[in-house]
Amino acid sequence: MARQAYDASAIQALKGLEPVRRMPGMYTHTVHPLHIVQEVLDNAVDEALAGYGRRIVVSVFKDGSVEVADEGRGVPVDLHPVEKRPAVEVAFTMLHAGAKFSRSGEGVYHIAGGLHGVGVAVSNALSKRCEVTVYRDGHKHTIVFEGGEVKQKLKSERIRERRTGTVVRLWPDPKYFDSPHVPLAELEHLVRSKAYLLPGLTTVLRVEGKPEKSWTFARGMAEYFEYMLGERELVAPLFTGEKYFDEKSAAEHAEIEPGEGAAWAVGWVAEGEVFADSHVNLIPTRSGGTHEAGFRNGLFEALLAFMETRSLQPKGVKLVADDLWSRACFTLSARIVRTQFHGQTKEKLTTRHAARLLELCVRDPFELWLNQHPEDGKRIAELAIEQAMARASRGKKFERKKSSGVATLPGKLVDCASDDIARNELFLVEGDSAGGSAKEARDKETQAVLPLRGKVLNTMSKDARTVLANKELQAIATAIGVDPHGAEDSPDLSGLGYGKIILMTDADVDGGHIQALLLTFFFMHMPKLVEAGRVYVAQPPLYKVEVPAQGKGRPARRLYCLDDEELEEALAQLRKEKVKEGAWEILRFKGLGEMSPEQLWETTMNPDTRRLVRMQLDSQQIERARKVFELLMDAGEAEGRRNWMREHWRTVEADV
């Protein structure tokens, strides 16, 4: 076979929107086009959030196109000072171009849903056609794109009507999505939610051939909560409230910015399904995040304080946050200046200070409310106690078994005290040094630690007997309480001792290798745990930034960054905050063992602030993943690996 030349000509620099078209999954969901419509809708909502426009109309046409029309200021159309092209063209054709990065000056967004600067550019890149109409300054401006490129240059005409706003119509390109159709039920939920999150805003959904739907919630969350609750009754009256920090109150807390805060509505039901609806800057966070964690903790701490003052805590029953939340329904809308999400689709907030922010917002108001409504508070406490007692009865002691009988737990395992499998977590930690820190850092009630020695066996082509003959893998299987098995097996999962099994390795090449070996073990020999969503990968930070005190009200602080990109974002933010260049100190962690127990807890183990990636796949996805593992990890697939790397080297980071 002829060798392919590997020289400068082989290095490609993807320009413009080409990266999006080559790798759409990095920028949006590819199951259906809802997210690229949401990016346009979010821009319209950001205008309303900033005080411009009170009506947004979303229209779905039979030809597959979707249109979003707002009453905002209209996307700027004057020439960009650097790019020398109309600003609207720059916004729709360049990644990382937008009005939400700056924190000062006229016309910028202080609080907004999108801070990546790739939103509508991605929407344009993945559409066959995109038509943008801007109304501002007594003119109507139109520009048309096809395949992400300019098809019709910006045209302007004077109009008589006094109108401002932006109208964007997209024709999603079916070749980028599994299904070309926008799911109407999800779109309706999205459009309706914007109305209740911003009281006074009217949102309209028009589907060609169907009656128009319109929503305006004058009382915001409380009114929407009643709509969601239906005919069911609450155990106690609805607890609603809002708190936003002004300059004076924000100055008392290092990381909180003026304007940040939250609005909420929460109630408890004795039976039936519960719902949780959380948002950040009006962006739906379907997977929750740090704001939800802070909200939950703040209310739970307030309930504990109320119960303690009134001696409501029964002996022998220990409440945990889940006891309060298992019967709770809530809607939550947080507003945060420096948002950080897990991925471009923004379904989970990872902004660290959001947990503290939400605790400060809700703890004292809820404790005050409970003391003002003691009978209602008592009913909520009794419901939580009932859930705790039910949990205790479900989580009775169990024996961890192997096929050969009762197994002795591995000597290096430091187990947790709780018998509640759903809450318990097992950390598989790389190295004795990191394992020592993890043992000190952990929550002894619910977190167990099993240190691993070096790199585990590559189990790609090994059978179950060989796997169990390896002491390290035997220790893992015994600690988990599940025997190695195949994809077609029906293993006994009754001995499973932990709701989450978390792989915690260094954020370097060796850590990545160990992580790959462990994932090979789980995908090939414990696929039912993966299918059940029990396996997670921790994401420890690579950098720590120590920022000195900045005068009164700005004490010293510590920032953690997952990777180089987050580090650049953090440094850019410090420069915007006028922190003296070089005043900060950057430390690159060589491994988890370098972290103190406090740092390891704060960054990687604390459920409120850590980042986890869930390895949950269905049986078909697991089968596809197993084939990839076979290609990448099987000793007999060296030639296949070389061919694969030749084909995919542009899109994959690999340590060769």
- pTM exceeding 0.75: no
Contacts with 566 (C-beta within 8 Å, 6 or more apart), sequence order? 340, 541, 543
pLDDT at 498 over 50: yes
Where are the CATH 3.30.565.10 domain residues in the chain? 18-216
C-alpha pair distances (Å), 475 with each of 407, 492, 535, 593: 10, 18, 16, 22
Q: What is the CATH number of domain 18-216?
A: 3.30.565.10
The alpha carbon of 4 is separated from its chain's Cα centroid by a whole number of angstroms, namely 41
**E-assigned strand segments in 226-286:** 239-244, 261-268, 276-280, 283-284
Per-residue buried b or exposed e for 130-139, using 16+ beta carbons within 10 Å of the residue's own CB? bbbbbbbeee
Q: Is 430 a catalytic residue?
A: yes
Minimum mean pLDDT range among 41-55, 219-233, 383-397, 543-557: 383-397
Pairing of strands 535-538, 447-452: unpaired
Q: Is 483 a catalytic residue?
A: no
How much is the pLDDT for 656? 38
pLDDT band at 119 (very low <50, low <70, confident <90, very high): confident
pLDDT digit string (tens) for 484-494? 887 777 888 88
Pairing of strands 535-538, 500-504: parallel
What mean pLDDT is predicted for residues 349-358? 84
How much is the pLDDT for 106? 41
Q: For 467, how many CA atoms within 13 A lie in the half-sphere containing its CB?
A: 24
The proportion of the chain whose per-residue pLDDT surpasses 90, expressed as a percent, equals 26
How much is the pLDDT for 458? 80
Q: Which residue carries 């209310």 as its tokens?
A: 299
Q: Is 42 a catalytic residue?
A: no
d(CA 649, CA 654): 8
pLDDT band at 403 (very low <50, low <70, confident <90, very high): very low
pLDDT at 654 over 60: no
**From 146, 223, 472, 508, active-site residue:** 508
What mean pLDDT is predicted for residues 246-255? 81
pLDDT digit string (tens) for 195-217? 888 888 999 999 999 999 999 98
How much is the pLDDT for 46? 85
How much is the pLDDT for 116? 38
pLDDT digit string (tens) for 154-165? 999 998 888 999
How much is the pLDDT for 417? 84
How much is the pLDDT for 255? 78
- Nearest in space to 211 (alpha carbons), one of 181, 188, 182, 189: 188
What mean pLDDT is predicted for residues 316-326? 85
pLDDT at 348 over 60: yes
What mean pLDDT is predicted for residues 12-29? 60
Say which amino acid occupies 459: T
What mean pLDDT is predicted for residues 169-197? 88
C-alpha pair distances (Å), 133 with each of 68, 92, 127, 163, 317: 10, 12, 16, 12, 62
**From 146, 415, 510, 634, active-site residue:** 510
Where are the CATH 3.40.50.670 domain residues in the chain? 418-539+613-648
pLDDT at 400 over 50: no
Say which amino acid occupies 32: H
- In CATH, the architecture of 221-394 is 2-Layer Sandwich (3.30)
What mean pLDDT is predicted for residues 382-396? 78
**From 506, 566, 602, 608, active-site residue:** 506
How much is the pLDDT for 203? 95
pLDDT at 579 over 50: yes
pLDDT at 101 over 60: no
pLDDT digit string (tens) for 414-461? 888 888 888 899 999 887 667 788 888 899 889 999 988 777 788 776
Q: Is 510 a catalytic residue?
A: yes
Q: Which fold has domain 418-539+613-648?
A: Rossmann fold (3.40.50)
546 φ/ψ sector (left φ>0, alpha ψ -120 to 50, else beta): beta
d(CA 655, CA 637): 17
pLDDT band at 533 (very low <50, low <70, confident <90, very high): confident
**From 430, 483, 566, 602, active-site residue:** 430
How much is the pLDDT for 552? 65
pLDDT band at 625 (very low <50, low <70, confident <90, very high): low
pLDDT band at 368 (very low <50, low <70, confident <90, very high): very high
The mean of the pLDDT values for the chain is 81
Where are the CATH 3.30.230.10 domain residues in the chain? 221-394
How much is the pLDDT for 621? 64
pLDDT at 634 over 90: no
